[in-house]
Structure formats: C-alpha cells, structure tokens
Structure 1
Amino acid sequence: MRSLLCALSALQLLNGLLMLLAPQFWYGAMPGVTETGPFNVHFVRDTGLGFLSAGFALWLAAIYPLSARLLVTAASVFLLGHALLHLAEIAMHGPELGHISRDLALIVVPALLPLMIIARRRSHA
C-alpha cells in the first residue's frame, strides 16, 4: 500500500510542479484542458498549489503510516472536490464518452484511490 501512496503522491507532485513551472506547456499538453476556457496563468498556478499540497500529504502518509488516515483525508479535500466538480460538469453538460473516460482515469480514480487504501488498511488492522 505504501508504494501505491508514493506513486499517487508522485503523480500529484509532478502535475503540481508542471503547473507552477510551465503553466503554458501544461495547459496545452493536458488532454481536454484547452476545451475548458482560455489560458489563465494565475489560475493554473493556483490549482498547481492544490496538487502540490495533496501530493505532499500523500507522500507524508506513505512515510508515516500511523498518521496516514489524517493525511489522506487532508489530501482528499482538494482531490475529491476537484473530482466532484468534474463529475458535476459532466452531469450538467451531458456525457461525452471521451470526456467521461478521460476524467474518470485522470481525475476521479486518482482521487478515490488514497481513500480506498486507507479503508483497506483499516479493515486489515
């Protein structure tokens, strides 16, 4: 479970760093982002800080298993909020198979996995 938390942490940290250090590149390279509106460097960097915060909390959860539940909960505030926003937009604008599969794979699943790890850890304790 620790290795999965580390991998999820790396994913969030890398995304956040890319958003902060190369926001224009991130905007053009991330699938579907250009469809959400015009590029806004401040917004991309603000959101990047959210991913960095979540990634750091997941990394700490991997290192300090006794505090993992609290740290994953903290990371999930941003990650689940972000995922729920995407699901709400899908519900409001109608399902497009490409958008749904992309959002599920890149946003919803990575937001749910840390909680599933903690739930599994707790049930095996």
Structure 2
Amino acid sequence: MPPITSIAEMARKTGNGKDKSFCRLGKADQTVQSRALKCLALAGSAHQLICGYPCRAFGRGVLLGIGLLWVATGVSIVADPPGFYDRTPGLVMMGPYSVHFIRDVGLAFIAAGTATVVGAWQYNRRLALAGAGWPFLHTLFHLQIWSHRGFPIDGIAAFDFIAVIAPAFLAVMLAARLSGRLADNDPTPGKALSR
C-alpha cells in the first residue's frame, strides 16, 4: 500500500466508514508521518462524531428528556401548588402564595414540555424551539432576579442553575441543531421534517 500523503486522503480512508484499510497497517509500515496523519484523521472522525449521527441522536434524546422533565414538573406544580411554593428555594421571598399564578406556571411548563417533546420526536426544529422558548424566557427572568440579589453563590443560585438555567439553555441549543431524520434507516416513527 502506498504511503498516505495528505490529511484529505487520510480522512477519506478513515472518516467515511467505507475504507478502513489504513487502520490495518502493521507497525512496521507506519512511519512517523503516517502516524501523525492518522492522528489528525482520527481528530476529523471525532469531529464527525460530534456533529454527525451519534451525537445528534444523543442530543435529540437529551432534548426529549428535558421536555419530559418539563411536563413532569408542570404536572407536579398543577397537582400540588402549596408543595411547590414551600419546596422551591427562594420562592417565598418573591411574594405571597397565589394558587392561580402557580398553576399558570405549571400549565406553561406542561405546554412547553409537550411542544419540546413533540418537536424533538418529529425532528421539527421550529416546534422544539417554540417549546423551549418559554423556559428560556423564564431563565432570563431568573438571571435578572439573581443579578438584583448581587449574584450570590448560594442554594437558590445552585437550584436555579440546575433546575432552570442549564436545561433551558441546553434545550434551546439542542433544538436549534435539530434537523430532519438522522438516517434513512432510522426506525423512529417521527415523520415531520423541519430544516
């Protein structure tokens, strides 16, 4: 086999899944240059992994999970408004208990989570982004409250980051990357495509 002389040639041999013959070369056949090129090509394959099918499928799964978490959160809020008011760090200092307001928040989480789940399930970017929209705006409100508190690193900030901020930012990022079916042989029943 002739030596590999370029990164492009290496990527053709290792990145597309069809010709992996270079990977089977014996140690005696690998020069320092070809080993370096192989490392660069593997880095290109890692990029393909990050931007390609496996990562997109994982991201879609995470988006589905976040949407289901929002639906479950909304259901628990609607089912037990006093419990939500008492359990949520920092909520008591925001004002008096209001069952109407708390149930509105719960219903918003149910709607947002449902739209996110359906959007991710059907590979519909617009619907998934619409679903992530309310939690993202809710996150901006939490960040504004945190700034008015002087950006303390406390239990309230930790709870907000884990339960509100990180999931919303992650959902918007993953929904924005959502596009079409991942592969022709993908068995997922979702049919709607949005590019």
- Paired residue for 2:126? 70
Once residues 121 and 56 of structure 1 are traced to their aligned partners in structure 2, the CA distance between those partners, rounded to angstroms, is: 16
Once residues 2 and 46 of structure 1 are traced to their aligned partners in structure 2, the CA distance between those partners, rounded to angstroms, is: 28
Q: TM-score, normalised by structure 1?
A: 0.86
- Paired residue for 1:95? 151
Query: Alpha-carbon deviation of 1:95?
Result: 1.6
Q: 1:97 to 1:89 in 2, by over 3 A?
A: same
Letter in 1 for 2:99: V
Once residues 149 and 85 of structure 2 are traced to their aligned partners in structure 1, the CA distance between those partners, rounded to angstroms, is: 21
SS at match of 2:96: coil
Once residues 70 and 120 of structure 1 are traced to their aligned partners in structure 2, the CA distance between those partners, rounded to angstroms, is: 11
- Paired residue for 1:118? 175
Q: TM-score, normalised by structure 2?
A: 0.57
Percent identity between the aligned chains?
30
Once residues 23 and 108 of structure 1 are traced to their aligned partners in structure 2, the CA distance between those partners, rounded to angstroms, is: 21
User: Bigger radius of gyration, 1 or 2?
Assistant: 2
- Count residues with an aligned counterpart: 122
Moved over 4 A (4+): none
SS at match of 1:86: helix
Looking at both structures, which has the greater relative contact order when contacts are Cα pairs under 8 Å and sequence separation is at least 6? 1
Letter in 2 for 1:107: V
Instruction: Between 33-42 and 43-52, report the one with greater CA deviation.
Output: 33-42
